Structure 1
């Protein structure tokens, strides 16, 4: 007995569909993690941060480059991710420069990385933000071996003032692990607030 071709095609299509049914969920829905799901930047929240941004304050300068990575797998689920590297100078002298790390293929190994959507009263709070305004919270690492005990967050807010694009950033500590006496208490980029202008 011959099997009609449409039955074979239907069977193949159903197998492919079953294997591809991992749900696609928006980034801001990460309070309920589903293994194998894809947490997608459905509203393009990360796109506005992509590019090169500079803060100049007296004799210091902080330059950050952000890139968006799509469908990054973290061994449990897939997610769109914002990654970044930075350069910090004082009096024209380079204190730290991680720009070469932009070439690292694995999106999980960057000095700045994250995608957590946060709001006005989420830590670190934002008094200027509207109640529904979304910011991005990211991990911030200093590659200096003497500072590996530091854990830091970078919270970023996008602002457009008459076509001048800015990021208002807060670099904050989230704690430390056990350290030797006299170990550094801050990353080489000092904790605090930064306003970076798009280049």
Structure 2
């Protein structure tokens, strides 16, 4: 009887060991491992969570970021920063995806990503220190006439005089052909934005 209990215990222990997922830091992704968990071990994503607003004259951009933990993408698990936004010019709402924050699938958000980048990674950051970390994400415009556009949003967290800010750079990836006569930018124009925590 003792032998049977020992064999069952050994079998369960072996299965449990095989079922464990390797945990890898988000900033250490040289190669993807199926079944791994790419975890935000340094809490790089946490500082971006919340509501952020950019204003310049009559133009405003509001972005809300949320952190999703241990999301499975059919190959591996990962911590992910997702977001939605609204953009207003002269009191007229140009685009508003904020209600999409309720979408359950983290990969169906207008802003999503978790790639840790440094000073010289594209898009480069002249004000960044060599070891400073930023986050790179995909940025989508839900307008069907702009589905051909592929854009990145690079965000940098800074704190000036006690005020929390995000320096954001919206750039084109430039990997898809633009149909003749189609828009060449998302409704939020490419460029630099400084957003303040609300």
TM tier, smaller: over 0.9
Deviation of 1:12 after TM superposition, in Å, equals 1.5
Cα distance in 1, alignment partners of residues 15 and 124 from structure 2: 47
Deviation of 1:31 after TM superposition, in Å, equals 1.6
Confirm or deny that 1:117 pairs with 2:116: yes
Confirm or deny that 1:99 pairs with 2:98: yes
Deviation of 1:6 after TM superposition, in Å, equals 4.7
Aligned residues: CA RMSD: 1.3
Cα distance in 1, alignment partners of residues 3 and 61 from structure 2: 67
Cα distance in 2, alignment partners of residues 104 and 16 from structure 1: 33
In structure 2, the gaps of 5 or more residues are none
Instruction: Please give the per-residue CA displacement for 1:138-176, whole angstroms capped at 9, x wherever unaligned.
Output: 000000000011110000000011321000000001115
Matched with 2:84 is 85
Instruction: Please give the per-residue CA displacement for 1:43-89, whole angstroms capped at 9, x wherever unaligned.
Output: 00000000000000011000000000011111111110000000000
Matched with 1:139 is 138
Deviation of 1:182 after TM superposition, in Å, equals 1.5
Cα distance in 2, alignment partners of residues 127 and 192 from structure 1: 15
Cα distance in 2, alignment partners of residues 11 and 162 from structure 1: 58
Confirm or deny that 1:126 pairs with 2:125: yes
Contact 2:178 2:184 in 1 (8 A): no
**Number of residue pairs the alignment of both structures matches:** 198
Contact 2:149 2:178 in 1 (8 A): no
In structure 1, the gaps of 5 or more residues are none
Q: TM-score, normalised by structure 1?
A: 0.95
Matched with 1:17 is 17
